Amino acid sequence: DIQMTQSPSSLSASVGDRVTITCRASQNIRTYLNWYQQKPQKAPKVLMYAAASLQSGVPSRFSGSASGTNFTLTISSLQPEDFATYFCQQSYRTPFTFGPGTKVEI
């Protein structure tokens, strides 16, 4: 199975901050990498797909990039509604696997 790791596991930030979350795959997954946001007691919501494509309806302050097996999600200016947990997920091969999550806290 492809293992996904994320760092940091949690971070504290303020409104307006630039936030970067990193995800690493245990093997080459090309750009088959998606990012999801999850708030407590809610289903995940897709933010980015194919590493760098913004899902329709998602604010442009979210962006993604890829370099080899390393991927980043950047929030350019953190907003109050962005405090949540973020997961990366590889869709290169089954079983589709997720990173352990990064909790963004105030």
Which residues here bind other proteins, judged by CB under 8 A?
Answer: 32, 34, 36, 38, 42-46, 49-50, 53, 55, 87, 89, 91, 94-101
**Of 26 and 77, CB closest to other proteins:** 26
Q: Which amino acid appears at position 90 of this protein?
A: Q
**Of 83 and 98, CB closest to other proteins:** 98
Q: How far, in Å, CA of 90 to CA of 68, rounded? A: 13
Q: Which amino acid appears at position 36 of this protein?
A: Y
Q: How far, in Å, CA of 14 to CA of 17, rounded? A: 6
Minimum gap (Å) between residue 38 Cβ and other proteins = 8
Minimum gap (Å) between residue 15 Cβ and other proteins = 26
User: What DSSP designation does 94 have?
Assistant: S
Instruction: Return the closest-CA partner of residue 21 out of 71, 69, 55.
Output: 71
**Of 35 and 78, CB closest to other proteins:** 35
**Of 27 and 77, CB closest to other proteins:** 27
Minimum gap (Å) between residue 2 Cβ and other proteins = 11
- φ, ψ dihedrals at 96, nearest 5°: -65, 130
